Amino acid sequence: MKPLVILFFMTCLSLAAFAQLDTTSYPKERQEIRQLLRSQGFGTKLDCADMVAVGPKGDISYTRQQWIEAQKKEKLVFKAVKPIPDNELIRIYDGTTAVVNLLINVNIVVDGRDLNIKVRRLEVYHKTAGTWCRVAGQGTQVDESLFPVNTNNKP
């Protein structure tokens, strides 16, 4: 009897270990994140105070204030950041953590030069006290001359 109980217990543990997390539910939280992404603008504070950001040159900022200072140092000014609709992939974990991959159009000024680029972003958000804030973010410029962006490609 004891070996049968142990076998049953081990089977349950192995099934639990291989069970997949449900990251595609949480419709309310997914809508909150979509709304947050689409409402980005000047004066909108998305970042947690202790966020980690990777800049265009690979530099790492460990706080929101460091990120702002790095932008000033590089003479970098974001004029507009607009998500391309239907190009967000949002995964919610336990209703309090969101991992977001999205494609954005960015209008930026770098050292006095105006640039319009597409960027693929990976961002992590955390929800505390009913409010979402970004805890990490990194982007990769999409080279459309090599890899044209297909905006109708929805996973």
For residues 55 and 3, the model is more confident at 55
Report yes or no: 109 and 79 within 8 Å, Cβ to Cβ: yes
What pLDDT score does 57 carry?
A: 76
Whether residue 10 is contained in a domain is answered as no
CA 19 and chain centroid, separation? 24
What pLDDT score does 155 carry?
A: 47
Query: HSE-up of 132 (CA within 13 Å, CB side)?
Result: 26
Whether residue 58 is contained in a domain is answered as yes
Per-residue pLDDT for 6 more than 60?
A: no
Per-residue pLDDT for 76 more than 50?
A: yes
Number of domains in the chain: 1
Whether residue 96 is contained in a domain is answered as yes
- Two structure tokens written together for 149: 């962006």
Per-residue pLDDT for 96 more than 90?
A: yes
Whether residue 121 is contained in a domain is answered as yes
Range of the domain at 125: 22-141
- Two structure tokens written together for 92: 């919610």
Structure confidence at residue 134 as a pLDDT band (50, 70, 90): very high
Whether residue 153 is contained in a domain is answered as no
Whether residue 11 is contained in a domain is answered as no
Q: Which residue has the tokens 């069970």?
A: 19
% of the chain exceeding 70 in pLDDT? 77
The overall average pLDDT reported for the chain is: 81
What pLDDT score does 98 carry?
A: 96
Whether residue 60 is contained in a domain is answered as yes
What pLDDT score does 102 carry?
A: 93
What pLDDT score does 30 carry?
A: 93
CATH code, domain carrying 87: 3.10.450.50
**Least confident among 10-14, 99-103, 127-131, 143-147:** 10-14
Structure confidence at residue 77 as a pLDDT band (50, 70, 90): confident
Report yes or no: 136 and 53 within 8 Å, Cβ to Cβ: yes
* Distance, CA of 78 to CA of 42 (rounded, Å): 9
Whether residue 45 is contained in a domain is answered as yes
Per-residue pLDDT for 110 more than 70?
A: yes
Q: How many distinct helices (H) and strands (E) make up the chain?
A: 3, 6
